[in-house]
Structures are given as C-alpha cells and as structure tokens.
Structure 1
Amino acid sequence: MPTLTFHTKLAVSQQTLWDFHNSPAALTKITPPGTRVRLLDPPESLGQGVIFTLVVSQPPLYVPLPWRCEFVVYEPPCRFVDHQVPGKGPFAFWEHEHRFEPDGPDSCLLVDTITYTPPLGFLGRIADRLFLHRTLTEMFAYRHRVTKEALESV
C-alpha cells in the first residue's frame, strides 16, 4: 500500500493553518489548475463522523468521479483524517491525514500523509507506477505551495 508524506513549514500559527483547512472553501483554493472539484451538499459543520461527497474531474479525460469520504478523526487544531467510504470512490483504499504541528510562536508544519491502494488490482498497480503516484505527488506539492502563498501573503 503506497504512502506519500508532504511537509511544509509556514510562518503562521497552528490555529491560522487549522482555520484555513477547516473551511470547505479551502478545497477549491488548493486544487491544481485543470482539476475540477465540486462538493455536493456541503456539510453544515465539520467533525468526526461527517460524510461528504466530492465530484472530481481530472485531465485528460475529465470524467466526473464521485468520491464519498468520512472524517474518521477530528482533533482541532492538530489534525483530521478522512477516509474514502469503501467502494464509494476512485481508490480501492484512501486515507488522508492532515496534521498541523506547532513549530514556534508563529510557525507551524503542514504535514499531509496519504495512504492509498489503487483500484483495479494489478492494472491499478501498473497505473500507479506509470502516472498515479506522480500525479498525487504533483497535486500535493501544488497544494502545499498554494497554502503557503495564501497564508503567508496575508
């Protein structure tokens, strides 16, 4: 099961970083160009047990894929973890942990850890080697860069 981890140090407080990521609007702000993400029926509030559905379209095909996820851990302002509801998304398994670690009075680390299993068994493992791993790496590098730019420019 592949695992990817991304770290970025930001010159903002842990609470500022938490507040940014705790908003459903953040998702559209940190989505790479060319990728389309819609949040269906946005939840009134976020928290453990909240289930949400995204529709994601990515190049080159732009086929809209529904993706149902649940917050399985929600610990403000330190971390939250979302899981793909089994059988309700593009992966055989998906877990994304978002951590916000203090690193001084006005500094923190953003740490994203993604653990996933590609779909389609053997074919999915080939797709992971050919493009999926690279696509996820590029996407999270973009997300971290945009988060840093958005929060540090305020």
Structure 2
Amino acid sequence: MKIYQMRRQQQLPISLEEAWTLFSDPGKLPDITPSWMQFTVTSQPKGNIYPGMITTYHLRPLLGIRLTWVTEITQVQDQVYFVDEQRFGPYRFWHHEHHFKAIEGGVEIIDIVNYAMPVGVIGQAVHQVNVGRKLHDVFDYRYQTLKQKFGVMRHV
C-alpha cells in the first residue's frame, strides 16, 4: 500500500478561538469545500468536537458518482489539534491532522493528510492522473476561500 502525504499551511488574521470554532464544526465544512464536490453533511453532530465523534457525508468527487464518507474524530487537544480518520469512504486509508497555533496577529493552521488509494496499482494510477490533483484543488479552494473571507496576515 502506497501512502501519500499532503501538508498545507495557512496564516489567517483571526483568533485561535475563531479558527478552532470554524474547523472543529463539521457543519461548516461545506462552506470551504468546492461546489463541484457536492459535499453535504448527512449527520447532525451536536456540541463540541470530541474523540469518538462520528460524522457522515455525501460527496461526488469523481465522475459525479455519489459516495458516502464516514469519519471519526480520534484525537482532540482543545484549540491545539484534532485528528479525523476515515472509517468508510473513498480511500483505503485517511488520517487528517489539523493543527492550530496562535501567532502574532492571528493564527497558523497546518493540515497534514496521510492517505492511500484503494485497489492497489489501479488506485495508484487513478491517483496519478486525477485524485492527487483534485485533493490539492480542494485545499487550494479552501485556502483561497479563507483568504477572501478573512484577509491575509500583515507582517510588520
């Protein structure tokens, strides 16, 4: 099984608390996901994020085929990091770390995604021609959406 890794970093001129509230609420995820994914939250998570929280989604990531994605929050350190892992869905393996750190004038957000494709060599080929690029497109969209909504960090 080939495991891929993607790292993303963004600094935003918002508080740590505001960033944590945005990212730790699964209901807000469709707002920062491209419309072509047709991403919808199908469960109704209540309250604060916690280890063991299960969230379900529908999405159409490839050729308009609707998929169900089930994730579990496996680790949480309030306003520092949380980890979501796929329990059922399009990947053979999905482990997504979300890290938050207060910095001068805002917050730094770091995502580390480790993932593997299903169906062996065929999945690796699909990753090369489509999935890898689309995953980067999703995070590029998120970056631009957050930049438009909150602005950019002003360095002194």
Unaligned runs of 5+ in 1: none
Shift of 1:33: 2.5
What does residue 125 of structure 1 align with?
A: 124
| Residue 44 of structure 2 corresponds to residue 42 of structure 1 | yes
Residue segments in structure 2 that go unaligned for 5+ positions in a row: none
Q: 1: CA distance between counterparts of 2:77 and 2:151?
A: 24
Render the CA deviation track for 1:52-94: whole Å, top value 9, x for unaligned. 11111135x2111011110001111111110001xx1110000
Q: Which residue of 1 aligns with 2:98?
A: 98
Whether contact under 8 Å (1:48, 1:72) holds in the other structure is yes
**2: distance between equivalents of 1:150 and 1:26?**
14
Paired residues of 1:53 and 1:66 also in contact (CA < 8 A): yes
Describe how 1:56-67 pairs up with structure 2 within 5 A.
56-59=59-62, 61-67=63-69
Per-residue deviation, 1:151: 3.0
Structure 2 Cα separation of the partners of residues 121 and 58 of structure 1: 19
Q: TM-score, normalised by structure 1?
A: 0.90
Q: Aligned partners of 1:22 and 1:147: how far apart in 2? A: 15
**CA offsets 1:20-75 (integer angstroms, 9 cap, x no match):** 1122332111011211112122111221111111111135x211101111000111
- Size of the alignment, in residue pairs? 149
Residue identity opposite 1:68 in structure 2 = V
Shift in CA distance, 28/54, structure 1 to aligned 2, threshold 3 Å: same
CA distance in 2: counterparts of 1:25 and 1:150, whole angstroms: 17
Runs of 4 or more, structure 1, over 3 Å off, are: none
- How far apart are the structure 1 equivalents of 2:27 and 2:54? 16
1:11 pairs with 2:13? yes
Identity level (%): 26
C-alpha distance in 2, partners of 1:96/1:115?
A: 6
- Across the aligned residues of Structure 1 and Structure 2, the Cα RMSD in angstroms comes to 1.5
What is the CA-CA distance between 1:131 and the residue it aligns to?
Answer: 1.3
Q: Specify the code of the residue in structure 2 equivalent to 1:72.
A: T
2:147 is matched with 148
Alpha carbons 1:6, 1:141 under 8 Å: kept: no
TM superposition score normalised by structure 2: 0.89
